[in-house]
Amino acid sequence: MSVVTVRLENVGVFRGVREFRLGRGLNLVYAPNASGKSSLIAGLKTVSTPALNGRELARALNDYEDRGSVSLRIGDEEYFVDLKRISQAEVEASGRRLSDDSVVRAVAFLDLENPIVNAVYAGDEAMLKRILRDVSGVAHIETIISVLEGLKAEYEHQYEVKSREYEARKSEVEEQLTHIEVELRRVDDRINEILKDSSIEPARREIERIEKEMKELEERVSKKRGEEIDLRNRLSDIEREEKLRKAELDLLNEKRSKLLAEKDMLSSKIVEYRRRVEELEAKIKSLKSERGDLENKRKELRVLLERRESVAPYDYCPYCGAKIDKESLHKDIDGIRAQISELNDRILALENEIRLMESEVSRLKREVEERLQEVEKELKDVNSRIEKLQRTLESYSRDKSSINRKLQEIESELKELEDKRELLMRQYDLFKDRVPLVEELRKLYEERFRLREIRDRLYGKLRQLDELYGDVVKLGETVSITGLLLEYFRARRVEVERVAVEKVNEAVARHFELLGLAELEYPVFAEGFELRLARKGGVATMLAELSDAEKAILAILLTLSLKEHVAGDFPLYIVDTLIEFIDDARAKEVLRYLMDFASRTDTVVIVTKTKPYTGEPRLLSQEDIIVNQVTI
How far is 606 from 608, CA to CA, in rounded Å?
7
- 87 φψ region: left (φ > 0), alpha (ψ -120 to 50), beta (else): beta
Segment contacting other proteins by CB under 8 A, of 56-64, 242-250, 479-487, 573-581: 479-487
Task: Give how far Cα 62 sits from Cα of 9, 38, 43, 68, Å.
Answer: 9, 13, 11, 8
- CB 630, min distance to other proteins, A: 34
The residue (of 146 and 257) whose beta carbon lies closer to other proteins is 146
The residue (of 102 and 199) whose beta carbon lies closer to other proteins is 102
The residue (of 50 and 115) whose beta carbon lies closer to other proteins is 50
Of 628, 484, 563, give the one whose Cα is nearest residue 151: 484
The residue (of 143 and 267) whose beta carbon lies closer to other proteins is 143
Q: Does 251 bind other proteins (CB under 8 A)?
A: no
- CB 527, min distance to other proteins, A: 15
Q: Does 146 bind other proteins (CB under 8 A)?
A: yes
Q: Does 280 bind other proteins (CB under 8 A)?
A: no
The residue (of 68 and 137) whose beta carbon lies closer to other proteins is 137
Give φ, ψ of 23 to 5 degrees: -115, 170
Mask: binding to other proteins, 154-183, rule CB under 8 A, as x and -? -x----------------------------
Mask: binding to other proteins, 437-476, rule CB under 8 A, as x and -? ----------------------------------------
- Please pick, from the candidates 100, 278, 411, 513, the single residue that binds other proteins as defined by CB under 8 A: 100
The residue (of 144 and 249) whose beta carbon lies closer to other proteins is 144
Helices (H), 520-577: 548-566
- Please pick, from the candidates 86, 122, 126, 147, the single residue that binds other proteins as defined by CB under 8 A: 147
How far is 431 from 166, CA to CA, in rounded Å?
50
Task: Give how far Cα 288 sits from Cα of 285, 299, 309, 351, 525, Å.
Answer: 5, 16, 30, 8, 57
Contact status, residue 49 vs residue 104, Cβ threshold 8 Å: yes
User: Using CA of residue 538, residue 541, residue 546, residue 550, what is the dihedral sign?
Assistant: positive
Q: Does 150 bind other proteins (CB under 8 A)?
A: yes
Q: Does 245 bind other proteins (CB under 8 A)?
A: no
CB contact burial 290-310 (16+ within 10 A = b; e otherwise): ebeebeeebeebeeebeebee
Number of H helices, E strands in the chain: 13, 12
The residue (of 36 and 137) whose beta carbon lies closer to other proteins is 137
Segment contacting other proteins by CB under 8 A, of 99-107, 217-225, 319-327, 443-451: 99-107
Residues near other proteins (CB under 8 A), total? 30
Q: Does 247 bind other proteins (CB under 8 A)?
A: no
- Please pick, from the candidates 56, 101, 228, 576, the single residue that binds other proteins as defined by CB under 8 A: 101
Q: Does 494 bind other proteins (CB under 8 A)?
A: yes
**Residue 418 belongs to what H/E stretch?**
helix 371-427
- CB 144, min distance to other proteins, A: 5
How far is 160 from 152, CA to CA, in rounded Å?
12
Contact status, residue 95 vs residue 7, Cβ threshold 8 Å: no
Strands 77-87 and 17-22: unpaired
Give φ, ψ of 7 to 5 degrees: -120, 120
Q: Does 137 bind other proteins (CB under 8 A)?
A: yes
Segment contacting other proteins by CB under 8 A, of 416-424, 426-434, 458-466, 482-490: 482-490
DSSP 583: -
Contact status, residue 231 vs residue 400, Cβ threshold 8 Å: no
Segment contacting other proteins by CB under 8 A, of 6-14, 77-85, 144-152, 285-293: 144-152
Q: Does 140 bind other proteins (CB under 8 A)?
A: yes
The residue (of 130 and 297) whose beta carbon lies closer to other proteins is 130
- Please pick, from the candidates 148, 191, 214, 514, the single residue that binds other proteins as defined by CB under 8 A: 148
The CA-based angle 410-413-417, given to 5 degrees, is: 135
- CB 248, min distance to other proteins, A: 13
- CB 485, min distance to other proteins, A: 6
Query: Which residue type occupies 217?
Result: L
Of 606, 504, 629, give the one whose Cα is nearest residue 557: 504
Q: How far apart are the first and last CA of the chain?
A: 19
- CB 107, min distance to other proteins, A: 12
* Longest pairwise C-alpha distance within the chain: 164
Residues that bind other proteins (CB under 8 A): 50-51, 100-103, 137, 140-141, 143-144, 146-148, 150-151, 155, 477-478, 481-482, 484-485, 487-489, 491-492, 494-495
